[in-house]
Amino acid sequence: MPFNTSFPSGQTSLYASTGEYISAFSHEGGDRGLAIALSQHSVERGLDVSQYSQAGDPRTSDGGLISLQLAQQAPASVLSGNSYAEYGGSSREVAPGSEPDFGGTQGEKATPRPPSKDKDSVVSAVSGGTASEETTADELTFEDFECSEALVQRDGTKVAIVLKVKGKDTKETKYTELRAFCARVGIRAYKNKSKAMLLEMIAQKIKNDKVYQPIFGAKRAQRLGPSHAAYKKALVRFTKSGTNGDDFYRFCGGRLGALYVHLHLLKRPGLTATVNQELPDEVYYESEDDPKIISDPRSKKKSDVAEAIRELVNQRESMEERKYRLLEKKETQKMEYLEQRSRTESRRAALQEYTFLHDRLRALYRQQEHETSVRIREDIDEEIAFLKSNKQKLKEEM
């Protein structure tokens, strides 16, 4: 690969000592890449590169001198292994065995690489040798977002919305800033392409934190209280000791001291020998044959149970008796009502029949006075006698 012969001849020996390493940087990165490679080589050899910065050399003045100074301050950044090539305010990883690409050509001034749209943060851009910093996403905090106090109805649900960001309208805030802020504070779905959706999620998180933070704070204070702190520390020590198992609660019920004593005795069976000794004088127990201790409570308990059962049976019997008496009373009243109605109907029928007989007799009497035939008069007399007898019977019944 040929050398870059556009530099002064007085520096040929220094350039030649770097070999293809300098030539590669010169070909790929132009003057700036060669300056960085030269500085790296001179630092490794212990040389002073400031003497080559001549006033009339356009490659080492202005941007070239700045490049040499930057390379001296951070020479490890241009190594050709697993390193990052710092150039134009952007960074990228260089694969092992490959040459770094600085994005420039020989004899041309390097131009900065535009910031990537896929990044979650806004990086500063460098152009024309001067740096202009933009607002970074780290500057945004929850206090910068002004949310609506009342929930807004949207798609059948009530949600909170962001009204202003840093006192300005939300239209002036960039999507990349919101996305980087959501990624930093841990808001889900921060890669959503909709700016309005990101603002809604930020507002929802602010509202939820205001509602649930006091509850979580109270629970956290309770967990860290004196009554819980001791057990928590003991549980941490037990977990780290390597003796935790399924028998933790069965053996000690949460008391670590009892568990450690149990494990200690299991490893030393000789310490748990059986010892027969009389009880002290102040310790005694009653005989099981004492009726006052054993029989009385049992009999009392049995009598109480029997009395309760007996009372329950009596209550049930009394309830059944009352039920039967009520049914019998209802049946009696029903029979009396039916009998009374039957008597009333019979009396009404008898009265109607009596009235009919009375009217018939009067009609026969009137017919008998004007009748001249002997046979007809005899028939009328027989009918009158029959009606009189029936009338007498009805009168007796009534």
184 inside domain: yes
pLDDT higher than threshold 50 for residue 75: no
275 inside domain: no
| Mean local confidence (pLDDT), 14-23 | 45
pLDDT at site 320: 82
122 inside domain: no
- Integer Cα distance of 295 and 105 in angstroms: 111
- Integer Cα distance of 329 and 335 in angstroms: 10
| 172 and 109 in a common domain | no
User: Could you tell me which residue, 36 or 76, shows the higher pLDDT?
Assistant: 36
- Integer Cα distance of 188 and 307 in angstroms: 68
Query: Which residues have CB under 8 Å from 100's CB, separation 6+?
Result: 25, 28, 29, 33, 78, 80, 85, 94
- Contact of 278 with 285, CB cutoff 8 Å: no
128 inside domain: no
Distance of CA 371 to the CA centre of its chain: 115
- Contact of 29 with 110, CB cutoff 8 Å: yes
| 142 and 84 in a common domain | no
**How many alpha carbons lie under 13 Å from residue 92 in its C-beta half-sphere?**
15
- Contact of 62 with 129, CB cutoff 8 Å: yes
Question: 127 pairs with which residues across the strands?
Answer: 130
280 inside domain: no
| 15 and 102 in a common domain | yes
Which of these ranges, 94-103, 140-149, 156-165, 315-324, has the smallest mean pLDDT?
A: 94-103
pLDDT higher than threshold 70 for residue 46: no
Distance of CA 107 to the CA centre of its chain: 62
Among 36-50, 160-174, 217-231, the range with the most confident prediction by mean pLDDT is 160-174
pLDDT at site 248: 56
- Contact of 262 with 272, CB cutoff 8 Å: no
pLDDT at site 323: 85
The fraction of the chain above a pLDDT of 70, given in percent, is 42
346 inside domain: yes
Q: Which domain holds residue 305?
A: 300-397
pLDDT at site 336: 92
| 212 and 181 in a common domain | yes
- Integer Cα distance of 340 and 130 in angstroms: 123
pLDDT band at 242 (very low <50, low <70, confident <90, very high): low
pLDDT at site 34: 52
Among 60-74, 107-121, 254-268, the range with the most confident prediction by mean pLDDT is 254-268
276 inside domain: no
| 90 and 31 in a common domain | yes
| 104 and 13 in a common domain | yes
Helix (H, G, I), strand (E, B) or coil at 51: helix
| 377 and 326 in a common domain | yes
Of how many residues is the chain composed? 398
User: Could you tell me which residue, 84 or 358, shows the higher pLDDT?
Assistant: 358
In terms of Cα–Cα distance, which of 46, 64, 48 is closest to 7? Answer: 64
- The pLDDT tens digits for 97-155 are 545 454 444 444 444 444 444 444 433 333 333 333 344 545 777 777 777 765 555 55
- Contact of 252 with 259, CB cutoff 8 Å: yes
130 inside domain: no
| 322 and 336 in a common domain | yes
- The tally of domains found in the chain comes to 4
User: Could you tell me which residue, 279 or 79, shows the higher pLDDT?
Assistant: 279
| 377 and 334 in a common domain | yes
Helix (H, G, I), strand (E, B) or coil at 152: strand
| 235 and 186 in a common domain | no
- Contact of 151 with 192, CB cutoff 8 Å: no
| Mean local confidence (pLDDT), 26-47 | 53
Structure tokens that stand for 300 in this block: 């009392």
Question: 158 pairs with which residues across the strands?
Answer: 153
- The pLDDT tens digits for 267-286 are 877 776 666 777 677 666 55
DSSP output for 19-45: THHHHHHHHHHHHHHHHHHHHHHHHHH
pLDDT band at 397 (very low <50, low <70, confident <90, very high): confident
pLDDT higher than threshold 70 for residue 93: no
In terms of Cα–Cα distance, which of 151, 152, 147, 180 is closest to 165? Answer: 147
pLDDT at site 37: 55
| 161 and 229 in a common domain | no
Residue 82 per-residue DSSP state: S
Residue 3 per-residue DSSP state: -
| Mean local confidence (pLDDT), 50-61 | 44
Question: 164 pairs with which residues across the strands?
Answer: 146, 169
Task: Tell me whether residue 317 is exposed, middle or buried, using C-beta atoms within 10 angstroms of its C-beta: 0 to 12, 13 to 18, 19 or more.
Answer: exposed
| Mean local confidence (pLDDT), 211-231 | 65
| 169 and 92 in a common domain | no
pLDDT at site 42: 55
pLDDT band at 335 (very low <50, low <70, confident <90, very high): very high
pLDDT at site 166: 77
In terms of Cα–Cα distance, which of 145, 149, 163, 158 is closest to 202? Answer: 145
pLDDT higher than threshold 80 for residue 370: yes
Cα dihedral 245, 247, 252, 257 sign: negative
User: Could you tell me which residue, 225 or 105, shows the higher pLDDT?
Assistant: 225
Q: What share of the chain is helix, strand, coil (3-state, %, to 5)?
A: 60, 5, 35
Task: Tell me whether residue 387 is exposed, middle or buried, using C-beta atoms within 10 angstroms of its C-beta: 0 to 12, 13 to 18, 19 or more.
Answer: middle
The mean pLDDT of the chain is 64
- Integer Cα distance of 372 and 375 in angstroms: 9
pLDDT at site 381: 87
